[in-house]
Amino acid sequence: MSKNNNKLSIIPLGGVGEIGKNMTAYVYGNDIIVVDAGLKFPEEEMLGIDIVIPDITYLIENKNKIRGMFITHGHEDHIGGLPYFLKHINVPVYGTRLTLGLIEGKLREHNLLDVTKLITVTNQDHIKAGVFTVTPFYNNHSIPDTVGFSIDTPEGIVIHTGDFKFDFTPVDNRKADFHMLAEWGAKGVLALLSDSTNSERPGYTMSERVVGITIDDTFRQAERRIILATFASNLHRIQQVFTAAERFGRKVAVVGRSMVNNINIAMELGYLQVAKGTLIDPDEVNKLPPEQIVVLSTGSQGEAMSALTRMARATHRKVEILPGDTVIIASSPIPGNEKFISRTIDQLFRIGANVIYQAVSGVHVSGHGSQEELKLMLNLVQPKYFIPVHGEYRMLKKHAELAVATGVEQENCFIVDIGDQVEFQNGRARMGSKVPSGTVLIDGLGVGDVGNIVLRDRKLLSQDGILVVVVTLSKAEGTILSGPDIISRGFVYVRESEQLLDEANRIVTATLQRMVAENVNEWSSLKTGIRDALSRFLYEQTRRRPMILPIIMEV
Amino acid sequence: MSKNNNKLSIIPLGGVGEIGKNMTAYVYGNDIIVVDAGLKFPEEEMLGIDIVIPDITYLIENKNKIRGMFITHGHEDHIGGLPYFLKHINVPVYGTRLTLGLIEGKLREHNLLDVTKLITVTNQDHIKAGVFTVTPFYNNHSIPDTVGFSIDTPEGIVIHTGDFKFDFTPVDNRKADFHMLAEWGAKGVLALLSDSTNSERPGYTMSERVVGITIDDTFRQAERRIILATFASNLHRIQQVFTAAERFGRKVAVVGRSMVNNINIAMELGYLQVAKGTLIDPDEVNKLPPEQIVVLSTGSQGEAMSALTRMARATHRKVEILPGDTVIIASSPIPGNEKFISRTIDQLFRIGANVIYQAVSGVHVSGHGSQEELKLMLNLVQPKYFIPVHGEYRMLKKHAELAVATGVEQENCFIVDIGDQVEFQNGRARMGSKVPSGTVLIDGLGVGDVGNIVLRDRKLLSQDGILVVVVTLSKAEGTILSGPDIISRGFVYVRESEQLLDEANRIVTATLQRMVAENVNEWSSLKTGIRDALSRFLYEQTRRRPMILPIIMEV
């Protein structure tokens, strides 16, 4: 590290102060690399929004400096924003084989596959990208082929863990690269950016094999069909289902689009070992005896249109769940989904199925390390500076406390917001100025064309509906030619509220006539008059505040 | 029990297959009694709905037979529907002193207090109500003065537990009436209706005193202000806060409307022991040294308008939270509220407060008994028949399993839906036919005037907004006199989407001109034509499906 005027900036553009849309930029002089390009699912109040991605204005402004996009793993909160990024910034994308396999499908959908350079990496690679040298290292997580990155910069080594746990007995036997981490740690690490998801959770996260034991027990006891729902990307768990199916002489049918896709990609790339003849078509489920069937399904979050939800409601085209079947929901609810999963469980019980779920038995383990694993990472890496990432504020804070407990100086821990720059120069770090950053809402094909005003209107519309008041005036004389007509949607049952709406009409008519007689002829005044009179009346009568949209036509 | 043609019907009108709006009717010949009249908070998809109450059509049809309303305790899911019930059916309401105290305020708001007969009961009473004799017995729960009822019927004794846990060391020292339950059990109980909320939870629910220990520890360590948020009705917990405040020389200020109300009622009725001078006005908070302050607050569910949420956002008029203050959130999230609480916690951490919450320390215990307590109830009562209540389907099912484990015959367990009748005649039970039952939605002043169509419209409006298309036609000639005008709300940012909306206007104009030229003059055809053309165009361009409302005016 020679003294100079250049500095290293680490800029999280997503994933801090929130769970989701992970993206971090590493900047040094004229070189930038980006780690991950995730999406986030909308909050409840973002009505009608499909997905949320980071604002990449800063990267677009500096697009000529960007030397590469490095992806840690194939979860949506790390790759889901990639197409939107690549539409603006065409740089090589580095990732492991499975990760790129999952990205390919996504880029194909967006017509970006042919124009994007995808470069497969392993933990043997040292990728030069401008001044940076990036070395992937293997981690354990709830999707195979996950890596973190060691980023060699002119200021020193930065370790970016990506999502991780330490699974000492991983299903695919691919251990985490403890030795590489230890070696970097011994050499000296400038900064660690580490996954904070489970920083509030004491102890160790269990090995994925624990779920395998529950799966085995359940398969041993089940007398009829087994339906197992889990995350489509948790191929370790899916592997354990196939292994159990083979052991207990069952065939596996796969339902749900993302489950089918992921299993196809994983089998093709060799990430899933399936014995010949084990996989059957869903059409065959009804032709085989129930004790020979496993159905692997999406819907472990109770998603409305998922295969499991449709099976539970008896609206799935191919697979029906019957009394005596065993349903395993191998997941824990993502915050916000609790009610949907509960409903699915209830429907399954009503059918007469035997339901195995997280609240009553161990059918899920987290993919993120708990406090002891986070401390192990800190002990291996021994960073001088620490930036907790991948977590809401309280998780980052808790993680910083853990770091201090393992010996990092309190003042060397940076709890940051998106857009913050942590700047390293001559071995010392400080907070820099903010770069443009934020949240971009995607609704259908629209990227960023829905914002606060639109969302506020949707919220208003969703609560009490809308009343449209239309009236046609004579341009020449200012008299009412037609109307006022009142049309409502989402307000009241029109048929049962005729009296209310008739009265509303009388009030609008009277207001209009009065204003016309008084020669009020500015449209805005007329509209305000209508809105005020109607709004007051409706609130008195119903205690509701529907949106009121007065429209004046002139002929 | 003499042989005769009459029978006892037990009819849950709410609270089974769901959590909330508890209500159960007991019917024998010409006599009916009702236990509880609760409300339920709306599901996410019930947009704009304020509360949900049971459909009481059956009770209204039989109102002359109803001899009384018996209330187990003062929680909203047991008393919140009472005003709506009493508006149709004026019968005496029986409850304990605190329960009636809480009901009074509610009835006053609805102008029902003067016309309703409120009768205070204790566990010494045997209330005659037609053929029924009702004896209250004391329970433990997260609100004081909770009772269950022993209902003596011509077919035998039915025990209706209400919400309960067995707290062997209750804060108010009022033990559950084990001996009464044991005595009825020894005599022979026909049926038990028991609380299923925690039937999935193994072991025992901890005593409320456990929370007192955490409160004490926190008070001992806190160096500045303490802000504690909990359920306003959990007066046991509130008592422990006052006791700790006195012990550690702190004054208590109360913020949040329901907290102020409940504490006033409880102090007035003697359910809360507060030393003179302990209670201070919120205005005084800033005048006293921080180490002498406790603020008791609502908002333990992260509710948007609550005192805690406002304090966390620094928008509370009187109390500010400062760095170094200790905030205790003494609750666990009700399913669906997880995100709101997390946000509040994050905001508090950002302020620099020390936040104590359930995920990291024991500041909450449930008010409902876990599996061992449910089995203790079953062992004490030894019912012949068992009807699990107060729970979603899976909880009822689990509870029935527990009952069978304690010796109830499998075929004597009835898992019922609302409106189901369990009929008892000559000591034998069977499922009868269904009575009218369901869900009534309340939006503002409207009771039942919002239903599926209105909700479907609100959902549609909330997702992609609305476009109103207005055109004025000449009645005589069928030509376009004015418009088409397109007004959108909740669809796109109008300013940034001018081109899209201009193009939409051209498409509607062209469609209209074509139809007018083709002499299409039925309004419905014109409207369908406009809607189809515009909908297709917008979906192609945006992949959104806003509601489209064509309005044709004729002059």
Mean pLDDT across the stretch A314-331?
Answer: 93
Please say if A368 is a catalytic residue.
Answer: yes
A-B C-beta contacts closer than 8 Å:
198
**Which pLDDT score, from 0 to 100, does residue B330 have?**
94
Q: In the structure encoding, which two tokens stand for residue B493, read together?
A: 């940012």
Å between B460 CA and nearest CA of chain A: 8
**Which pLDDT score, from 0 to 100, does residue B4 have?**
58
* Active-site option among B160, B236, B316, B368: B368
Which residues in A lie closer than 8 A to residue B398 (C-beta atoms)? 360
Answer yes or no: is pLDDT of A397 > 90: yes
Which residues in B lie closer than 8 A to residue A450 (C-beta atoms)? 492-493
Mutant choice from A454, A477, A494 vs B, greatest count of B C-beta within 10 A? A454
Tell me, what's the ipTM?
Answer: 0.85
Mean pLDDT across the stretch A449-458?
Answer: 87
Convert the pLDDT of each residue in A203-213 to its tens digit: 999 999 999 99
Q: Given B339, B464, B551, which is nearest A485 (Cβ)?
A: B551
Ligand-binding annotation for A142, yes or no, is no
pLDDT band, residue A4 (cuts 50/70/90): low
Ligand-binding annotation for A234, yes or no, is yes
* Active-site option among A195, A325, A420, A464: A195
- Paired strand residues for B486: B469
Mean pLDDT across the stretch A385-407?
Answer: 97
Please say if A145 is a catalytic residue.
Answer: no
**Which pLDDT score, from 0 to 100, does residue A495 have?**
74
Domains and CATH numbers, chain A: 8-203+366-447 (3.60.15.10), 209-357 (3.40.50.10710), 465-554 (3.10.20.580)
Q: CB–CB of A541 and B445 under 8 A?
A: yes
Q: Which amino acid is at A103?
A: I
The pLDDT averaged over each successive group of 10 residues in chain B (555 residues) is: 75 96 97 98 88 96 97 97 96 98 95 96 97 97 97 98 97 95 97 97 94 94 96 96 96 96 96 95 94 95 91 91 95 86 94 88 91 97 98 97 97 97 96 95 84 90 93 81 88 82 92 84 85 93 92 86
Distance CA(B358)–CA(B365), nearest Å, equals 9
% of chain A surpassing 90 pLDDT: 82
Task: Indicate the annotated binding residues of B for substrate.
Answer: 232-234, 364-368
Q: Which of A86-95, A152-161, A304-313, A471-480 has the lowest mean pLDDT?
A: A471-480
Distance CA(A422)–CA(A191), nearest Å, equals 10
Distance CA(B265)–CA(B281), nearest Å, equals 17
- Give rounded-to-5 percent helix, strand, coil for chain B: 35, 25, 40
A491-520 burial code (b ≥16 CB/10 A, e <16): bbbeeebeebbeebbebbeebbeebbeeee
Which residues in A lie closer than 8 A to residue B541 (C-beta atoms)? 445
Distance CA(B5)–CA(B39), nearest Å, equals 35
Answer yes or no: is pLDDT of A40 > 90: yes
Task: For A248, list phi and psi in degrees, rounded to 5.
Answer: -105, 15
Which residues in B lie closer than 8 A to residue A550 (C-beta atoms)? none
Distance CA(B29)–CA(B429), nearest Å, equals 16
* CA neighbor of B170 nearest in space, from B107, B234, B75, B217: B234
- Give rounded-to-5 percent helix, strand, coil for chain A: 35, 25, 40
How buried is residue B510: exposed, middle or buried, by Cβ count under 10 Å (0-12/13-18/19+)? exposed
Q: CB–CB of A468 and B549 under 8 A?
A: yes
pLDDT band, residue A137 (cuts 50/70/90): very high
Mutant choice from A394, A418, A456 vs B, greatest count of B C-beta within 10 A? A394
Q: Which amino acid is at A518?
A: E
Hey, what's the torsion of the CAs at A385, A391, A395, A401, to 10 degrees? Answer: -10
Q: Given B336, B458, B489, which is nearest A457 (Cβ)?
A: B489
Q: CB–CB of A445 and B472 under 8 A?
A: no
Ligand-binding annotation for A366, yes or no, is yes
Å between B68 CA and nearest CA of chain A: 31
Mean pLDDT across the stretch A120-138?
Answer: 98
* Active-site option among A160, A236, A316, A368: A368
How many other β-carbons are positioned within 10 Å of the β-carbon of residue A367?
26
Task: For B484, list phi and psi in degrees, rounded to 5.
Answer: -70, 140
Kindly write down the DSSP assignment for every residue of B378-435, as one continuous string: HHHH-EEEEEEESB-HHHHHHHHHHHHHTT--GGGB----TT--EEEETTEEEE----
